[in-house]
Amino acid sequence: MTKTDSLNSEFAKKYPDKFARILGRGEIEDIARVLDKLPPPNVASIVSRLPVTRIHALLVSGEHKLDKWLTEASLQDAVALLSRLPREQCLALVNSLKHRERRKRLLQYLKYPAHSVGALVTDLPVRVTTDTPAEEFLAELRALKISRPRPIVVVHPDGRYSGMIDLWKLLARDPAVGQIEDYTSPTSAIFPETSLASSVLDSNWHDHSWLPVIDHQQRILGGVSRGSVFKAAARHAKQGGAGGDLLTVLMSDLTHLFGEILTRSLTRRGTR
């Protein structure tokens, strides 16, 4: 096992751009040797900052551990490195990764652009079919010992999206009778190619902190949270100089939220 160079590691971590600029001046063998002595989670960050000609030479030489670098780097650094490689090479490389979750997330990035909802999709928390007996599912749900409510997606037996469970309605029934479809709310889903700028305008965010993502065959791909969508949209708006429009949307949502809270508060007072 190669010993880590602590001095270079500290320099690379604090000043990655400067470190990559200096490193890029060396011969490929020297670059590979230095990279080999950096902590694996930090290597992708440095390689992604090298001149494209040096990255190409590094790949051609075989003096690299791309699979290890992509697996152990943060997702942001791994994506940054892939963005510097030819797309055909990226697909072959990512498909060869042994780490299942990292392979899945990077393929997701390659399939959908960073400014789309598809790039943010995560796995489903809980999924159940419409024909599941309500009482049986409720028993399974209690056995999971979930500390806080999580979104529960409902699909038809053939896998097509149906909606999301009205959890409070389900919990209020004792015993729970019927099938899960009786407790399903037809919540709108989002398509993965939807842009972040369009997604933040979706009125469903007023009532939901998480929405399912489906393809055009109505199959569930996963879901996205309101927080991740708005955070990513704000970042892209800032990069594109369109922050004003997004701020208007955020203020509108906050106004709606405060209005809902005030309405509920006044309603409760009126019933006392």
Distance CA(182)–CA(17), nearest Å, equals 57
User: What are 12's two structure tokens?
Assistant: 């690379």
Does the pLDDT value for residue 69 go beyond 80? Answer: yes
pLDDT band at 87 (very low <50, low <70, confident <90, very high): low
pLDDT tens, residue by residue, 200-253: 888 888 888 899 998 888 888 888 988 889 888 888 777 665 555 555 555 555
**Dist CA 232 CA 246 (whole Å):** 11
**What is the H or E stretch that residue 45 is in?**
helix 40-47
Distances in Å between the alpha carbon of 236 and those of 74, 116, 195, 217?
19, 10, 11, 29
How does the average pLDDT of the chain come out, rounded? 81
Which residue in this structure is represented by tokens 């030489």?
Answer: 61
Whole-model pTM: value is: 0.57
Strands 152-155, 126-129: pairing kind:
parallel
- Look-up of token digits 């097509």: 160
- Quickly tell me which residue has 């011969």 as its tokens: 27
SS3 224: strand
Q: Cβ contacts of residue 158 below 8 Å, gap of 6+?
A: none
pLDDT digits 0-9 by tens, 29-43: 999 999 989 988 889
Burial annotation 183-211 (CB, 10 A radius, 16+ → b, else e): bbeebebbebebebbebbebeebeebebb
What's the pLDDT score for residue 51? 81
For the chain, give percent helix, strand, coil, nearest 5: 55, 10, 30
Bridge-partner residues for 223, per DSSP? 122, 212
DSSP 115-161: TBGGGG-B--SEEEETTSBHHHHHHHHHHTT-SS---EEEE-TTSBE
Q: How confident is the model at residue 183 (pLDDT cuts 50, 70, 90)?
A: very high
Amino acid 211: pLDDT: 92
Report the chain's terminal Cα–Cα distance, integer Å: 71
Domain at 6-111, CATH from 1.25.60, 1.10.3470, 1.10.10, 2.60.40: 1.25.60
What are the residue ranges spanned by the domains of the chain?
6-111
Count CB-CB contacts under 10 A for residue 28.
Answer: 16
